[in-house]
Chains A and B, each alone.
Chain A
Amino acid sequence: MMQKRLFSLSRVLCYAMTLMFLAASSAQAELLIRVTEGADSAIPLSVVPFSESGSMPTGDKLSSIVQADLAMSGEFRTLPPEKMLSLPSKRSDVYFRDWRMLGQRYVLVGELTRNGDRVKARYELFDVNREERILGETATAPASNVRSLAHHVSDKVYEAITGVPGAFSTKLAYVTLERTNGQARYRLQVSDIDGKRARIRLESKEPIMSPAWSPDGKKLAYVSFETGKPAIYVHELHSGQRTKVADFPGLNSAPSWSLDGQSLLMTLSKDGNAEVYRMDLQTKNTEKLTNHWAIDTEAVWDSSGKGIFFTSDRSGGPQIYYMAKPGAEPRRITFGSRYNARPRPDSKGEYVYYVHQRDGAFLIARTNLKNDEETVLTRTQSDESPSVSPNGRMLIYATKHSGNSVLTVISADGGAAYSLPAAQGAVRDPAWGPIVQ
């Protein structure tokens, strides 16, 4: 098994992005962002502040949100506006020689127009070397939703340059935990991927764990101990309606959705010990998919929806296994160390990501499913709960920073990072939502 660390210093550079979870006292809990590391292979790109006609909503400017999104991906190095020689908003004002002089590969320009209660963005992306326009579009959104419009522009720019759909309009689910005077406060929250517009969806004194997005992005399944025992709930986000779907004796844990959203994989111990089951959400019937005296848990469908990755300690310690179809003889995937758990495959079927113990540290690693090559992606100590972005380009996981739980985002090859610490308490259990059309 080949083994390499991706953190040659040349790859990793300098700028810092951190998402901060602020003041959980209000129902609306905001997150801030600060870059911690970017790859030096990052592409130089300028987002020119958009010109504006008509009154615009106060708050963040659309172009600064776009700039932050692209920088956050670790794949772009953005030029601060004060270093720009001009601030063009249409093609005729773009002097490619100036942008070449500034070492820029791409320039995004545009303008915002107010139309009643809506805002229209017209934007163009230029390839500086080829002096070509590679993207030119308009999009509108309610004036109250400039942030969504900005993430949409980021997605389009990202796709035009990389050929991969952007994931800036996706949502993040996570659990915050605050302990005050021995009293725990768990809050299940959903925010934008940059941590903004966080909303509390469930609050409990008892543990909330393992949020999992339905494929349409409309529901979350999770484990809550609110009745004193672990149970699996499905929570419809728009209506807030919740259904308790699994409340068997023993474990009810690790829910994950089928690709069609009709069933959940879950871990139950109702028949003795921890096994993987599939529950049809219509009939609530359960079907046992593993059968072993060992722990079998953390099951998740592969990208094709045919096979299932899961964790089992049938070899003595936890390792990642794969069943080519439900109930098939499992094949062991990981061999690199004595502890590998909590698999999360990407959407293209190229890699599986998991928690990996090495030299006493818990890290995130991935295995290339074509050649079984294992790569350790992180350098921190207590990394867990990896979740891959739906475009397969980024990975979010929970780790410890100065003794507190924070979320960290890295590019999926380990190249760049930003993190999301909590101002008070811990943030954990991140789940990256799907791309919703």
Chain B
Amino acid sequence: MKLSAQTKVIALLFSAGLFAGCSTTGENMEEGGYDSDVAPIDQDQGSTVYGGGDQDGISSSSMTEEERMEAQQQAEQEALRDITTFYFDFDTSEIKPEARDVLMAHARYLSNNPGQNVRLEGHGDERGSKEYNLAIGERRADAVQRFLIVNGASRGQMETISYGEEKPAVMGSSESAWAQNRRVELVFE
């Protein structure tokens, strides 16, 4: 019993020490190790143990909360990052306000994952001159690239290409088709 209790205490101490992970716990362990009186040790160490256990419990539950929030944040960021297409008005390369949060999520992700590369594909609608539209597509991709860099991504992770009006997302010659074709697509590789 005694032995087993001692062993249990030591085991608890040990685990507490592990969780606490500091030199004071090591000293406690030494003290506990030298002490032959089981009861006070049991009490003292018990309280310490319980305290440690409590601390353990508290700290682990507080970490879970953090983790939960982090996970939630991460889920939110991931959900944001599901959006990889960004739209533009005719003959402009201005990033729309509603695109900012999503692009910031992408920038954070790229910043946290330096090995991750992304291709920024710029497009225009079918109207007007083909060659000018190529240049507009590039300017849109460049605008997104600048935004990502300002928000933490590095230039080396990104490659831009413009297809001009050659690769429409939607066929047809309506305002709605044109609006869906004036875009930059993020393609993760």
- List residues of A whose CB falls within 8 A of some B CB: 207, 209-210, 225, 228-230, 250-251, 253-254, 267, 269, 273-274, 295, 297-298, 311, 313, 317-318, 339, 341-342, 355, 357, 362, 381-382, 384-385, 400, 403, 428-429
Give the residues in chain A near B132, CB-CB below 8 Å.
Answer: 295, 297-298, 311, 313, 318, 341-342
Q: How far is the CA of A250 from the CA of B132 in the complex (A)?
A: 14
Give the residues in chain B near A225, CB-CB below 8 Å.
Answer: 163, 166
User: Could you show 11 A-B contacts with beta carbons less than 8 Å apart?
Assistant: A230-B162, A251-B162, A253-B131, A253-B134, A254-B131, A298-B129, A298-B132, A318-B91, A357-B128, A403-B172, A429-B130
Contact among A207, A228, A295, A385 with B139 in the assembled complex (CB-CB below 8 Å): A295
Give the residues in chain B near A429, CB-CB below 8 Å.
Answer: 130
Other than A230-B162, A267-B134, A318-B91, give 5 A-B pairs with Cβ distance below 8 A.
Answer: A253-B135, A273-B138, A297-B134, A385-B130, A428-B130
Are B128 and A362 in contact (CB-based, < 8 A)?
yes
In the complex, the number of residue pairs spanning A and B with C-beta atoms less than 8 Å apart equals 89
Are B129 and A250 in contact (CB-based, < 8 A)?
no
Q: How far is the CA of A267 from the CA of B136 in the complex (A)?
A: 13
Residue of B whose beta carbon sits closest to that of A318: B132
Give the residues in chain A near B127, CB-CB below 8 Å.
Answer: 362, 382
Give the residues in chain B near A385, CB-CB below 8 Å.
Answer: 129-130
Are A207 and B166 in contact (CB-based, < 8 A)?
yes
Are A295 and B160 in contact (CB-based, < 8 A)?
no
Are A295 and B166 in contact (CB-based, < 8 A)?
no
Provide the B51-79 mask, 1 if CB < 8 A to any CB of A, else 0.
00000000000000000000000000000
Provide the B80-113 mask, 1 if CB < 8 A to any CB of A, else 0.
0000000000010000000000000000000000
For chain B, the bracket of interface size reads: 20 to 34
Are A273 and B131 in contact (CB-based, < 8 A)?
no
Contact among B126, B131, B136 with A342 in the assembled complex (CB-CB below 8 Å): B131
User: A345 to nearest B CB, angstroms?
Assistant: 16
Q: Interface SS of chain B: helix, strand, loop or mixed?
A: mixed
Contact among A209, A250, A297 with B166 in the assembled complex (CB-CB below 8 Å): A209
Are B134 and A251 in contact (CB-based, < 8 A)?
yes
Q: How far is the CA of A295 from the CA of B167 in the complex (A)?
A: 21
Q: How far is the CA of A253 from the CA of B130 in the complex (A)?
A: 10
Give the residues in chain B near A355, CB-CB below 8 Å.
Answer: 128-129
Are A342 and B129 in contact (CB-based, < 8 A)?
yes
With most chain A CB atoms within 10 A of its CB, the pick from B128, B134, B160, B164 is B134
Are B138 and A317 in contact (CB-based, < 8 A)?
no
Q: How far is the CA of A435 from the CA of B91 in the complex (A)?
A: 37
Q: How far is the CA of A385 from the CA of B129 in the complex (A)?
A: 7
Give the residues in chain B near A342, CB-CB below 8 Å.
Answer: 129-132
Are A382 and B136 in contact (CB-based, < 8 A)?
no
Give the residues in chain A near B131, CB-CB below 8 Å.
Answer: 209-210, 253-254, 267, 297-298, 311, 342
Are A341 and B128 in contact (CB-based, < 8 A)?
yes
Contact among A210, A229, A318, A357 with B130 in the assembled complex (CB-CB below 8 Å): A210
Residue of B whose beta carbon sits closest to that of A317: B91
Q: How far is the CA of A298 from the CA of B161 in the complex (A)?
A: 18
User: B180 to nearest A CB, angstroms?
Assistant: 16
Instruction: Determine if B173 is an interface residue (Cβ-Cβ < 8 Å).
Output: yes
Q: How far is the CA of A384 from the CA of B132 in the complex (A)?
A: 11
Residue of A whose beta carbon sits closest to that of B139: A295
Q: How far is the CA of A428 from the CA of B128 in the complex (A)?
A: 13
Q: How far is the CA of A429 from the CA of B172 in the complex (A)?
A: 19
Q: How far is the CA of A269 from the CA of B131 in the complex (A)?
A: 13
Give the residues in chain B near A209, CB-CB below 8 Å.
Answer: 130-131, 134, 164, 166
Are B135 and A267 in contact (CB-based, < 8 A)?
yes
Give the residues in chain B near A207, CB-CB below 8 Å.
Answer: 163-164, 166-167
